[in-house]
Amino acid sequence: MPKRRKGGMVVSNDLREIELKCIEIILNAILETAEMIVGSGNVSSVLIEEQKRKLDENAILLGIAGQVNGELIFGLNETALKYIASKMLEMEIDEVNELTTSSMVEFINMISGSATIKLVDHFDSDKLKMSPPLFLKGKDMNIDNRPDTIKSYRVSLDEGIHIDVTVALIDVKKK
Amino acid sequence: MVNLLIVDDSFFMRQMLKNMLPKDKFVVVGEAKTGEEAVQRYKELKPDVVTMDITMPDMDGIEALKEIKKLDSQAKIVMVSAMGQKPMIKEALEAGALDFIIKPFDKEKALKILSSIKK
């Protein structure tokens, strides 16, 4: 069976399939949660590049540990932040404040919960946890980790509104 | 009137829960952002009902639920969390939670659950 190197260990192509399945499960959780909150009927995703390094001005990090180890990195601009906050709060949003930021973090928390439920069901294991979302704001933020499996998707929520999602997996244990 | 303690580290969720509760039936007597704070606030306020998040700093909601149940075995606690995987729900219910509301939730359904709890 063909093999590849991963962090000093040799792993089989089986594991690669597991990693890709994980990414598919996580992406489905993101799309379903986004559709539920945004309700536009226009939510979709596209693979943008294998390794997206630059982030928009707002980023939210989620760590995954246990059966699956890695990170989810959500990058979005202020327009997308206000858009999601307006859907979560069911009101027009003109400025970014504690409430809008908190609603965005809660949106990612809901994605985290949905992804955890799906991954736990898939692996039939409760040894999987996600860290609370960590919100970062800044300029010229870059992703600087280097796991083998890293993929970035652009999740479109509505016309001109999107979130960039990077899934970086360090390892996935077999069932 | 039902005296309610809201436990959630998210400012947004605390606001949202407060806003959705009918003022003629519920009084939010307190809020807590961590599990430890929840236990402390429960001792001080003795609320009729607690809504409890799970993923929080310091002490998580399941631990806080267990601590409160040690203090008051009759405590009425409803879990409100995005972490709705079956083992988590089972653990919470076995520890004495009355119900488990998974985020994102339908406001009417959540309200029905909270309104059905007898003082």
* CATH of residue A95: 3.40.1550.10
Tell if the CB–CB gap between A116 and B85 is shorter than 8 Å.
yes
Looking at the structure of chain A, the number of domains it has is 1
Interface of B with A (CB under 8 A): 9-13, 15-16, 55-57, 81-88, 102-104
Q: Are B101 and B83 in contact (CB under 8 A)?
A: no
Nearest to A98 among B9, B11, B82 (CB): B11
pLDDT in tens, A105-151: 999 999 999 999 999 999 887 788 888 899 998 888 877 766 667 88
Burial code of B86-112, b = ≥16 C-beta within 10 A, e = fewer? eebbebbeeebbbbbbbbbbeeeebbe
> Residues of B with CB below 8 A from A132's CB?
9, 55-57
Nearest chain B Cα distance for residue A161, angstroms:
21
pLDDT in tens, B20-61: 999 999 999 999 999 999 999 999 999 999 999 998 888 999
Pairing of strands B77-81, B49-52: parallel
* Confidence at residue A141, expressed as pLDDT on a 0 to 100 scale: 81
Give the CA distances from residue A27 to residues A45, A132, B66, in Å, rounded to whole numbers and listed in that order.
8, 18, 34
Within its chain, how far is the Cα of A139 from the centroid? Answer: 20
What pTM does this model have?
A: 0.84
What's the domain range around A51? 3-172
> Which domains does chain B show, CATH number per domain?
2-115 (3.40.50.2300)
Q: Which two tokens stand for residue B27?
A: 């009084």
* Confidence at residue A50, expressed as pLDDT on a 0 to 100 scale: 60
- Rounded CA-CA distance B89/A149 in Å is 32
- Rounded CA-CA distance A127/B5 in Å is 31
- Rounded CA-CA distance A66/A47 in Å is 26
- Rounded CA-CA distance A94/A78 in Å is 11
